Amino acid sequence: MSVDRVLAVVIEHDQGKTKLVSLEVLSAARKLADQISGKVIAFCFNHAANLEAELFIQYGADEVRFLTHPDLQHYIHENYVFALLRELEKSSFDYLLLPATNNGKELSAVISAKLGVGVATDCISLSVSEAGDVEAVRPVSSGKAHSNIRFSGKKPHILSLRPNVFRSPPLSRQGEIVTAEIQLPELSQRVRELVKQVGSELDITEARIVVSGGLGMQGPENFKLLEELAGVLGGAVGASRPVVDNGWRDYSNQVGQTGRTVSPDLYFACGISGAVQHLAGMSSSRCIVAINSDPNAAIFSVADYGIVGDAIKVVPVLTQEFKKIITS
Ligand SMILES: Cc1cc2nc3c(=O)[nH]c(=O)nc-3n(C[C@H](O)[C@H](O)[C@H](O)COP(=O)(O)OP(=O)(O)OC[C@H]3O[C@@H](n4cnc5c(N)ncnc54)[C@H](O)[C@@H]3O)c2cc1C
Task: Say how many Å lie between the CA of residue 317 and the centre of ligand 1.
Answer: 23
239 within ligand 1 shell (Cβ under 6 A): no
One-letter amino acid identity for 74? H
Q: Please tell me the predicted confidence (pLDDT) of residue 199.
A: 47
278 lines ligand 1 (CB under 6 A): yes
Domains 5-197 and 209-327 belong to one CATH topology: yes
Residue 311 Cβ inside 6 Å of ligand 1? The answer reads: yes
The alpha carbon of 274 and the centre of ligand 1 are apart by a number of angstroms equal to: 6
Ligand 1 touching residue 165 (CB < 6 A): no
pLDDT band at 280 (very low <50, low <70, confident <90, very high): very high
Cα 139 to Cα 56, 78, 229, distances in angstroms: 28, 29, 30
Closest CA to 111 of 214, 238, 10: 10
User: 196 pLDDT exceeds 90?
Assistant: no
Give residue limits of the domains in the chain: 5-197, 209-327
Decide: helix, strand or coil at residue 217.
helix
Q: Is the pLDDT of residue 15 over 90?
A: no
Evaluate: CB of 216 within 6 angstroms of ligand 1: yes
Evaluate if residue 270 carries a pLDDT over 50: yes
Q: At a CB cut-off of 8 Å and minimum separation 6, what does 179 contact? A: 49, 65, 66, 68
Averaged pLDDT score across all residues of the chain:
92
Q: Indicate whether residue 240 lines ligand 1 (CB < 6 A).
A: yes
Closest ligand 1 atom to the C-alpha of 314?
A: 42
124-177 pLDDT, tens digit each: 999 999 999 999 999 998 888 999 999 999 999 999 999 999 999 999 999 999
Mutate which of 222, 226, 273 to test ligand 1's pocket (most atoms within 8 Å of Cβ)? 273
Q: Whose CA is nearest to atom 29 of ligand 1?
A: 273
**Greatest alpha-carbon span in the chain:** 62
pLDDT (mean) for 3-10: 91
Of 3.40.50.620, 3.30.420.40, 3.40.720.10, 3.40.50.1860, the CATH number of 5-197 is: 3.40.50.620
User: Is any ligand 1 atom within 6 A of the Cβ of residue 242?
Assistant: yes
> What's the rounded Cα separation, in Å, for the pair 205 and 232?
19
- Tell me what the mean pLDDT of segment 211-224 comes to: 98
Task: Give the per-residue pLDDT at 250.
Answer: 94
Say how far apart CA 44 and CA 180 lie, in whole Å. Answer: 11
* C-beta of 121 in contact with ligand 1 (< 6 A): no
The stretch 60-68 carries a mean pLDDT of 95
What is the band of 71 on the pLDDT scale with cuts at 50, 70, 90?
confident
Q: Does the C-beta of 272 come closer than 6 Å to ligand 1?
A: yes
* Residue 140 alpha carbon to ligand 1 centre in Å: 22
pLDDT at residue 186 tops 80: no
Residue nearest to atom 27 of ligand 1 (CA): 215
Other Cβ atoms less than 10 A from the Cβ of 160: the count is: 27
Nearest CA to ligand 1 atom 11: 240
Instruction: Tell me which CATH code domain 209-327 carries.
Output: 3.40.50.1220
Query: What pLDDT, on the 0 to 100 scale, is given for residue 190?
Result: 54
294 in contact with ligand 1, CB cutoff 6 A:
yes
Is any ligand 1 atom within 6 A of the Cβ of residue 275? yes
**What pLDDT shows up at residue 70?**
87
In terms of pLDDT, which residue wins out, 189 or 17?
17
pLDDT at 79 over 70: yes
Q: What percent of the chain has pLDDT over 90?
A: 80
For ligand 1, whether the C-beta of 258 sits within 6 Å is: yes
